[in-house]
Amino acid sequence: MKTMENKVALVTGGGKGIGLGIAKAFAEQGADVVIAGRHEDVLKKACEENEHFYYVKADITKSDDISRIVQYIKEKFQRLDILVNNAGWCPVKPITEITMKDYDAAFDLDVRALVDMTIQSLDLLKASKGNIINMSSVGGQNPGPNLSMYVGAKAAVENFTKAWAVELAPYGIRVNAIAPGAIETDIWKVPGLTEEESRKHLAESAARIPMKRMGQPEEIGRGAVFLADDKNSYITGTILTIDGGISIG
C-alpha cells in the first residue's frame, strides 16, 4: 500500500533539483503534489512527466504570490497535508564582498518566504493535522567560508523548525527539517567550466565525502517521505541529516 494515498503536498522550488526529487518521492507514494516556482517552462515540463503533479508559477518572496498558491490548493483540493519549504538561494562570497543586496536576496527567500508560506498554510495544515518539512543544510550546523549568508539563513530555519514543533504540536502538526549535504544537481554546474572540468570538479567534491559519492535528489525525497509518514508520528522537531557522512567525516 502506498503511504501517501489521498494526501496533498506542496513543494516550493519543486520544478528541479532537490525539490523535484522530493515531489517525485511523494508522488510515487500516491500523493498529489503541487510544485511552485518562478519558471513556468520548468514547472510545465515536470508536470508533463508526472500525472500526480500540479503547478503554480509564483515568486514566493511576494506575499501575494503565496496567497495565490494557497488559494489554488484550497480550490483544487480543499486540503493540504504536507508543506515542504524547499526553495532557497546561496550567494558564494566572503563577507568582504557581501552587500546588503546579497543579504536581502538570501534571507528574503531562505527565511522570510519560508515564514510567510508557513503562516499562510497553517489553516489547511491544522485541518489535516499535517506536516511541515523545512529544508536546511549541513552548513546550518557546520558553517564554512564564503557561505555566511546561506548558513546564517539555514541556522534560522533550524531554530524555526524546533520552535514551531513545540508551538504546533497541540494542533497535531509535526515540524521537521532535512539537512542535505552535497547533492548532485545543476547547482554544481559551475559557469565557465567545460564538461570535462565539471566532471573533475564533481569527482573532487565527492572524494571529500566519506561515502565517496554525491547524494541524489531522490535520496532527499525518501527522507522527506519518511518524515511525513503517519507511521512516524512521534517524530517532530528533528533535523534529519542526509549527507553521506561529510558533517562528521
Catalytic residues: 136-137, 150, 154
Partner residues linked to 240 by β-bridges: 178
- Taking residue 147's Cβ as centre, other Cβ atoms within 10 Å add up to 19
Q: Which of 157, 176, 156 is nearest to 240 (CA)?
A: 176
Phi and psi at 231, nearest 5°, equal -65, -20
Burial group, residue 69, by CB count within 10 angstroms (0-12, 13-18, 19+): buried
Helix (H, G, I), strand (E, B) or coil at 236: coil
Q: Which of 31, 6, 9 is nearest to 80 (CA)?
A: 9
* DSSP string for 110-125: IIIHHHHHHHHHHHHH
User: What are the residues whose beta carbons fall under 8 Å from the beta carbon of 111, sequence distance 6 or more?
Assistant: 153, 156, 157
Beta strand 8-12 with 32-37: parallel, antiparallel or unpaired? parallel
Are 218 and 157 contacting, i.e. CB atoms less than 8 angstroms apart? no
